[in-house]
Amino acid sequence: MARHDQTPEMVSDDPLAHINAGNFARAIAIYRARDTDGTLSAEDCALAAHALRNTGEFGQAADWFQKALGMAPEHRFAVSWRAQVEANRIDERSGAGILRPSTLTESYLRTNPEDTYRDSPFSWVLCTDFQRPSDYIPPQSVRDKLRNFKDSLVSLALGPIGELANSGATPGNAGRWTQRRLGIMRLAALGAARTWMARRERDPDGEHHDIVGQLARRKDLPKWADSGFTPDGAHVSDQFGPGEGRVGQSFVDHGMPENYRPRDRSHDANLPSEAAVARAFGYRNGTTREAMTASFHAAAHLQQLVHDVAQTAPDNRRKHAIPVDPDSELAALGVTHHWSRADAPNVLRPDGEGMHSTTVWWDMSHIYGSEIETLAAIRSFPDGSKVPGGKLYLEGMDAAGNGGLFLPTHEVEAGEEGRARRQILTGFGRNMTAPLEAEHTLYARHHNWVADVLKERYPDWSDNQIFQIARRVVTMTYAKIHTGTWTHTLFANEAVVNGLNANLFGRAERKLPHFDKKIYRPEQGTDPIAHGIAAGKVDKDKPEIKGNFFSKAYRFGHQIWVDQLHCPPIGAKPDAGTRTVNMKELRELDGHEFLRREGLGAVYYYMMHTRLGAPVAGNTADFFRDMASEEGVMNMLEQEIRKDRRRGTPSWTDYQKAHNIPPSETWEHLFLDPESPQSQATIATLKELYPDGISTLDAVIGLTLNEHRPEGLAITNEGFQTFVQEATSRIRKNPYLTEKWRPDEVSWTAINLVEAIDKEKLLYLHCPELRDWLLTRETVNSYEYAGTNPRDNPEEHPLESTGIIVWGEQNMRDFGLGDAWKDAHFHPGVPNDMLRIEHGQETYVVDLTDRQVLADFEGQGRVHGRDVLFEDPPGVTRRDLLAAAQAIREAARYPWPGFEAPGHPGFVSGWQLTQEEVDTLKRYKGDPEGNGVQARLTDLEKHLVPFNLAGKSPTIGFSQNLRGWRTLEKSGARALFLTLGSIFTFGGLRNFVTGRGIPMDAMARRRPAQRTGIFDAQGMIDEPRLAEYLAQLRAMAGESETGAIPEEDFLAMLEAKGALDSLTRKQWGSYFRLLERAGRAQAITPEDFEGLYRNTLIPAMFEKLERT
């Protein structure tokens, strides 16, 4: 365990001295020797356990604590040692102490990845055959261009307005923008603050006159460079060189002067110890202050964001010392310092700040990895073979890449001895918990679902291209959810919501309901405010480099984390008896097994029914205290403070200056009511801790202690300004989220999948166990606490209750599969062959061209283009429905209603869709009113099909009407007479004069008063009335020698029942002439009568007569 000795040159026989010098391996060896010679004390055992914990050997630590208890069961720390036995057993079982080593070396970072990958056994993951989809984009109309110009003028005016609105700021408040009354002024002020920060972004390599990442440009780009996100972030954008956004880039302090170099403040004698600060403003100690407007779901989302874009590379060996709390058990045993893992030195620049261990891009690297080895591993089966179809491997997946539900684990070597242990395999697995793994799992499942959609629609794409486009879809989906819902939940302020919506959708979408807003529209312009940054133009004067302030501002995640996860059954709300699970029992492999055992949907349900912690001082989760980490132990808050000081992170007031915020001048500026006893007590503590005044306050404490917070915001204005700058930067500088997010770059399918899907739909799609609850839930936004609702608890759901957001219709089963995606879908007369297929009590619309099945999801008798089945419905498969529709098409000249599919019993045609209906369902903007099409024809409409065979519209036109009558009537004159008569009678005088024909929806209303009444007012068969007629006809047929009823007797019966007038007499006369032409006597049987109404008689005769 040599790497666990921080001071190897030290010579001493005192194990405690070695512990305090960070020489844990030496200390352990001495304690083991004492155990052998019998000179070990109980306290020695506890100290040995402490040393073992600092090497990641938590199982052995538990044994030594147990040994201490055996030697001194009544020791003053016996209660603590008993708890430690159990805690260390849990940490050993979970694998929390297994090292995930940093792989960044100077050699790797100075080598162009093109050279690194050339001979790599993992180079198969690179997409060298990318084919741009080049999908059709409708040209903008003159009206579009004029509207875009007008919108951009409004945006142009916001600049000078914003500078005015942001002027006159003073310290000790929630921000100048919050003091403006008008919403447009607040929005303009926020924009001005963001612009100020953007102009002061820094490029540490550029300040040294170097290219970003010190990676030189080459004449030609690698073939894989323009296919999408790359394994380590290189070549995503070449504006500032191929190294922009790559792993290993330096962090920097944005907003500080150029060439600013941080100064190590960790040894400043005038600063309080980290332990003292933590004792005053740190942990919960068992009492959690809750945030009432959000659920723990929001915390899991946040953690994966930070893991994606801003992780400092850790040192694999070096640790730094942090003084222990003098009142702690460890201090009583003689321990003076904790030792926590240090940052890795910057291998490219000795005076540089910490290095990024993940790509800097917003690219979901926490799912996909930041090096080619990890990317290959997550795309491979456990035996090393490739997962087909551009998919990620999930446990349970078959050889064809189907199935699979959970992240895999793989074997790694742990400890100095290289013991074989299991570890979760994902892009970035550090500090994994069940809630965080749930997020990884959900997006991995979604990747595979997207890959399946792409594979079906683009069979000529390679697996690598499918992977790349699927990754971009997943990334943009996450960006949409984060910017468009998550941020609104934590920053429930109207100006903030409008500003962040402008980032994503553009101000031009502001009046639309939330679920109707779109990132990309072909008619939109490119103004970043009016039309959004996403899907716009790349806009950057400096490369994409994450600042140190990012990690500071987002550390409120440690206060919003929870210590207990509430676990009510799905469908139930938490109460006093609800099961809870300690979060320390949900780490790493323990969390993995919990997720597999409980189910993904259940874990999300638990998160949505657990309140978020409040991001305030004194509320850091106890989860982060004495926390097992990779080959060590840490106290998170003390480590944050120490690392900030070592990194030279600017103090609280310098943090404010770097954001153009007037710095706090006195301690009183931190408090809403500085004269209150509580504030005065806190000020007294601050003065004692920081004798040199507020200018020395650690920024991380200022961010949680400051009580001045904009209305609706979970965090301070200072932290929020960092958020705004970084949230904007990571979109506007990323080509795959801006100018390369277009149908000709990623396909219309990719665009549609993102536009349609939000977080709740992800859960519906990939967590079947949640579907019933999701359809009936009381709270729309799953990041809000689901145990209450906006109606009964409006203060807990301000987005909805105050009207900040109008959600609109979510359409939970719409995943974008029914939106236009082929070139033909953007022009009139979409050539899709679509049939209604009836099976049991259901009617489906089967699209034989696009191989899709649609259904009436809402039970309203209508089918919309969005209603594409994404999985098989109960009792039938989509494959069977498609096969039945194909069989009908091949067997029948006309797919008559009621025609049963040959070889597919129980599958019956419900008639083909008209061209107008096809365009409604398939054409781009073909259904502006959202009415959809009729799911099932009425019995009357089926009866009239022979008079509307072309099926171009729901109106029986003159030519189609005449065609039907000419087929049924031998006499052309009589056919014309009946055509005109039917139009006049059923269509009315206006339609008769204008030649519009007979609207089908008017047919039922305008039928003669004297009729059988078998078709009711809705056009459906009145079964009791039909049965009554059939009974009488059967009686009449029984009296006939032939079993048929002569025409004269039949008409007499109708007349006696009041069901005959001059028009209906002519109609029945036509029917009897049809029987005669078919070689039948002018007599009707009960079966003929029923077949006439059930539409089984005329179609067979019609085709025979039409052929002759």
Same domain, 1081 and 973: yes
pTM beyond cutoff 0.85: yes
Q: Other CB atoms closer than 10 Å to residue 335's CB: what's the count?
A: 19
Task: Please tell me whether residues 399 and 518 are part of one structural domain.
Answer: yes
Phi-psi region of 175 (alpha: psi -120 to 50; beta: other; left: phi over 0): left
Do 714 and 560 form a contact (C-beta atoms < 8 A)?
A: yes
CATH label of the domain that carries residue 55: 1.25.40
Can you say how many angstroms the Cα of residue 1082 is from the centroid of all Cα atoms in its chain? 68
Instruction: For residue range 109-145, list pLDDT tens digits in order.
Output: 999 999 999 989 999 999 999 999 999 999 999 999 9
pLDDT in tens, 631-656: 899 999 999 999 999 999 899 999 99
Q: Do the beta carbons of residue 640 and residue 555 sit within 8 Å?
A: yes
* Token pair of 331 as six digits: 């201090």
Alpha helices by DSSP H, listed for 876-971, are 878-891, 915-922, 939-943, 958-968
Question: Could you give the CA distance from residue 797 to residue 91 in angstroms, rounded to a whole number?
Answer: 37
The residues with which 843 forms a beta bridge, in sequence order, are 838
Whether 42 is in a domain gets the answer yes
Model confidence pLDDT, tens digit, residues 268-286? 999 999 999 999 999 999 9
Number of domains comprising the chain: 4
81 has pLDDT over 70: yes
What is the full DSSP assignment across 85-118? HHHHHHHHHHTTT--------HHHHHS-HHHHHH
Q: Are 85 and 150 in the same domain?
A: no
- The count of other CB atoms within 10 Å of the CB of residue 317 is 15
Domain end, chosen from 73, 94, 115, is at 94
Rounded to 5°, angle at Cα 430 from 427 and 433: 100
Break the chain down into helix, strand, coil percent, rounded to 5.
45, 10, 45
pLDDT single digits (tens) 960-1006 = 777 777 777 778 888 788 778 777 777 776 666 666 677 766 666 66
Mean pLDDT of 526-546: 91
- Asked if residue 518 and residue 464 are part of one domain, the reply reads yes
pLDDT single digits (tens) 166-197: 899 999 999 999 999 888 899 899 999 999 99
Shared-domain flag, residues 883 and 994:
no
Of 47, 64, 94, at which residue does a domain stop?
94
The CATH number for 779's domain is 1.10.640.10
Work out the average pLDDT over 944-948. 81
Pair 81, 149 in one domain? no
1019 is a domain residue: yes
* Average pLDDT for the chain: 92
* Claim to verify: residue 918 and residue 971 sit in the same structural domain: no
Flag whether 734 is in a domain: yes
Evaluate whether residue 943 is within a structural domain: no
Dump pLDDT digits (tens) for 436-449.
Answer: 999 999 999 999 99
Residue 99 lies in a domain: no
Residue 949 maps to a domain = no
Residue 345 has pLDDT above 70, yes or no: yes
- Domain shared by 498 and 576, yes or no: yes
Residue 951 resides in a domain = no
Residues 1054, 1000 share a domain: yes
Q: Are residues 464 and 598 in the same domain?
A: yes
pLDDT at 991: 67
Residue at 823 is within a domain: no
- Residue 807's closest CA among 773, 778, 827, 834? 778
Q: Are residues 83 and 117 in the same domain?
A: no
- Distance of alpha carbon 1063 from alpha carbon 1039, whole angstroms: 29
Where do runs of H (alpha helix) occur along 267-379? Answer: 274-281, 297-309, 329-332, 365-368, 372-378
For range 33-43, the mean pLDDT: 95
Domain that residue 1043 falls in: 958-1107
Shared domain for 72 and 118, answered yes or no, is no
List the beta strands (DSSP E) in 379-489: 409-414, 419-424
pLDDT category, 940, cuts 50, 70, 90? Answer: confident
Q: For residue 612, count other CB atoms closer than 10 A to its CB.
A: 28
Which pair of tokens denotes residue 150? 């007008």
